[in-house]
């Protein structure tokens, strides 16, 4: 409900003209994608088509009622003795109602096909769930891409500030002969390199936001392009204990569930095709009326009739069409079971790989935090040593670069862990974390 209200507020504000900058957390961006993404509309259309096919497969449960009516006008001429011709004309009116009900098609073929269609609809519903998870995963990946770009830009700006500060000190020392020209050039190159890195990070942020807008179905020309991520609502990676307790039961994977249902449906369709050798039974009833006048209402329906009947039909030979359908259904059955086995192997391998990767990513994230603390302390000591003359300028610049690299590594480690966690949840058929 909170997400819905948030997205509604965004759309309402977008229609009022001047749109201030909006900030959405991950849940808000996912909700935005569910509302705007063309992939969701495509998934809705596919599910609607499957529902229509299932309704069609159930049509035999209901009788078929047909009404017909017609009028015929006849002209005739009869030659009389004397060479005269007598011309006559007459009208003929008719109408009728016909009711028919299929009781058994080829030994129950229609019932088996209906069951197969129901399984196919369930598979389509599972596919729909998979499509929705894929949209969410696309948004999550793009969202964390923006987060990484912003944090790397922040780290680059911090590195540039240190370089600028060092350049100012070095230029002051150079003017009094405290450093050599080579040392000044080294600091100038470092500052220029860090400044260029900030510009590149700006471009990366723009590209990352473009990917997020595309994943969320937002046009950059729309007012919603003023929407940004909410940095104070970013999730933290799970602790190792929570990662180890994640159940790796992948039986709810949408693709795997859909493949299993389609394999069952194909098996039923193959069985139904084999029933093609059996006869069909249909019941029918009808009423009909015909007369050559509409003038006398009282006797109009004296010439009507009723009929009921049962019709048994048996296809003895149809030019091997039946055998062709049976072989085709059997081939589809074999192919669907092979696809199911392939899907099972793929999902199992993917889940195991993502689980191991997530544990490694969480450990690397913890190590990166320690390495950043170490780099900060090393830089602090290097500055003190340099100011006391116990450390060369090159070593100080190395410590500065190590600090910038450690800051960037922590950002990348965090984003990688969050992305891997989301990918694992999607493979398990579960919605990833989008908010606490």
Q: What is the full DSSP assignment across 131-143?
A: HHHHHHHHHHHHH
pLDDT tier at 226, thresholds 50, 70, 90: confident
Q: How far apart are CA 224 and CA 231, in angstroms?
A: 18
Is the C-alpha dihedral spanning 421, 10, 147, 235 positive or negative?
A: negative
pLDDT band at 281, cuts 50/70/90? confident
pLDDT tens digit sequence for 178-200: 888 888 898 899 889 989 989 99
Confidence of residue 234 (pLDDT cuts 50, 70, 90): confident
Q: CA neighbours within 13 Å on the CB side: how many for 397?
A: 19
Mean pLDDT of 312-336: 88
List pLDDT tens digits, range 299-321.
666 778 899 999 888 888 878 88
Give the residue-averaged pLDDT of 341-370. 95
Judge whether residue 339 has pLDDT over 50. yes
* Strand-pair category, 227-229 with 22-24: parallel
pLDDT bucket at 208, cuts 50 / 70 / 90: very high
Q: Give mean pLDDT, residues 362-386.
A: 92
β-strands 64-79, 85-104 pairing: antiparallel
Q: In whole angstroms, give the CA distance from residue 330 to residue 261.
A: 16
Q: At what angle do helices 254-274 and 321-387 cross, to 10 degrees?
A: 170
Whole-angstrom CA distances from 262 to 120, 194, 271, 303, 345 are: 6, 56, 14, 54, 17
Per residue in 33-55, pLDDT (tens digit) is 999 888 888 889 999 999 998 89
- Who contacts 150 (Cβ-Cβ below 8 Å, separation ≥6)? 205, 208, 229, 231
7-21, 171-185, 223-237, 355-369: least confidently modelled range:
7-21
Q: Which of 96-110, 357-371, 389-403 has the highest mean pLDDT?
A: 357-371
**What is the pLDDT, as a whole number, of residue 258?**
94
pLDDT band at 91 (very low <50, low <70, confident <90, very high): confident
Q: Is the pLDDT of residue 432 over 90?
A: yes
**Residue 14 in this model has a pLDDT that exceeds 70:** no
Q: How far is residue 70 from each of residues 67, 154, 310, 340, measured CA to CA in Å?
A: 11, 83, 26, 56
Dihedral angle over CA of 346, 348, 349, 354, nearest 10: 120
The b-or-e profile of 257-295 (16+ CB within 10 A means b, else e) is bbbbbbbbbbbbbbbbbbbbeeebbbebebeebebeeee
CA 126, CA 133: separation in Å to the nearest integer?
11
pLDDT band at 232 (very low <50, low <70, confident <90, very high): confident
CB atoms within 10 A of CB 341: 12
Return the pLDDT at 182: 87
Rounded Cα gap, residues 205 and 200, in angstroms: 9
If one compares 396 and 224, the residue with the highest pLDDT of the two is 396
Q: Does residue 298 register a pLDDT over 80?
A: no
Mean pLDDT computed over 152-169: 88
Percentages helix, strand, coil for the chain (3-state, rounded to 5) are 65, 15, 20
Q: Which residue has the higher pLDDT, 124 or 75?
A: 124
pLDDT band, residue 227 (cuts 50/70/90) = confident
Please give the structure tokens belonging to residue 55: 């309704």
Q: Is the dihedral of CA 388, 393, 398, 402 positive or negative?
A: positive
What local confidence, expressed as pLDDT, does residue 435 receive? Answer: 76
Provide the token pair at 436: 């606490």
At residue 192, the pLDDT reads 92
- Quick one: tokens of 177? 């002969």
What Rg value do the Cα atoms of the chain yield, rounded? 38
> Average model confidence (pLDDT) for the chain?
86
In this prediction, residue 425 has a pLDDT band, given cuts at 50, 70 and 90, of very high
Whether the CB-CB separation of 96 and 289 falls below 8 Å is answered with yes
Q: What is the pTM of this model?
A: 0.80
pLDDT recorded at residue 116: 93
What pLDDT is recorded for position 16?
Answer: 40
Task: Report the pLDDT value the prediction gives residue 13, as an integer from 0 to 100.
Answer: 42
* Band of residue 1 on the pLDDT scale cut at 50, 70, 90: very low
- Could you tell me the end-to-end alpha-carbon distance of the chain, in angstroms, rounded to an integer? 15
Eight-class DSSP state of 277: G
Which of 52-61, 152-161, 409-418 ranks highest by mean pLDDT?
A: 409-418
d(CA 185, CA 171): 10
Asked if residue 139 lies in contact with residue 212, where contact means CB atoms within 8 angstroms, the answer is yes
pLDDT of 387? 82
What value does the mean pLDDT take over residues 248-276? 92
């Amino acid at each position: 409900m909170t997400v819905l209200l948030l997205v509604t507020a965004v759309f309402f504000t977008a229609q009022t003209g001047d749109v201030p900058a909006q900030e959405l957390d991950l849940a808000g961006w996912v909700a935005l994608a569910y509302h705007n993404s063309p992939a969701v509309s495509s998934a809705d259309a596919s599910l609607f088509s499957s529902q229509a096919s299932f309704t069609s497969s159930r049509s035999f449960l209901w009788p078929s009622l047909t009404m017909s009516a017609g009028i015929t006008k006849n002209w005739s001429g009869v030659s009389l003795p004397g060479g005269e011709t007598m011309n006559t004309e007459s009208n003929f009116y008719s109408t009728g109602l016909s009711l028919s009900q299929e009781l058994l098609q080829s030994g129950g073929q229609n019932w088996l096909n209906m069951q197969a269609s129901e399984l196919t609809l369930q598979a389509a519903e599972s596919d729909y769930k998979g499509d929705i998870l894929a949209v969410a995963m696309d948004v999550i990946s793009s969202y964390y891409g923006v987060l990484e770009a912003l944090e790397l830009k922040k780290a680059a700006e911090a590195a540039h500030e240190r370089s600028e500060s060092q350049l100012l000190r070095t230029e002051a020392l150079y003017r009094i002969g405290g450093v050599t020209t080579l040392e000044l050039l080294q600091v100038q190159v470092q500052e220029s390199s860090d400044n260029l890195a900030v510009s590149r990070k700006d471009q990366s942020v723009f590209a990352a936001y473009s990917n997020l807008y595309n994943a969320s179905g937002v046009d950059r020309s729309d007012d919603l392009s003023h929407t940004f991520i909410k940095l104070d609502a970013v999730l933290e990676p799970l602790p190792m204990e929570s990662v180890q307790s994640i159940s790796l039961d992948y039986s709810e994977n949408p693709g795997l569930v859909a493949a299993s249902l389609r394999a069952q449906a194909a098996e039923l369709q193959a069985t139904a095709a084999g029933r093609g050798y059996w006869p069909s039974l249909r019941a029918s009833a009808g009423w009909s009326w015909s007369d050559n006048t509409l003038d006398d209402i009282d006797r109009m329906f004296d010439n009507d009739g009723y009929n009921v009947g049962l019709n048994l039909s048996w296809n003895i030979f149809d030019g091997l069409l039946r055998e062709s359908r049976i072989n085709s259904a059997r081939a589809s059955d074999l192919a669907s079971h092979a696809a199911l086995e392939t899907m099972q192997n793929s999902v199992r391998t993917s889940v195991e790989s993502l689980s191991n990767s997530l544990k490694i990513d969480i450990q690397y994230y913890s190590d990166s935090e320690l390495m950043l603390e170490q780099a900060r302390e090393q830089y602090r000591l290097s500055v003190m040593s340099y100011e006391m003359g116990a450390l060369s300028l090159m070593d100080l610049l190395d410590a500065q670069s190590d600090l910038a690299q450690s800051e960037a590594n922590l950002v990348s480690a965090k984003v990688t862990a969050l992305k891997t966690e989301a990918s694992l949840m999607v493979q398990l058929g579960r919605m990833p974390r989008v908010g606490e």
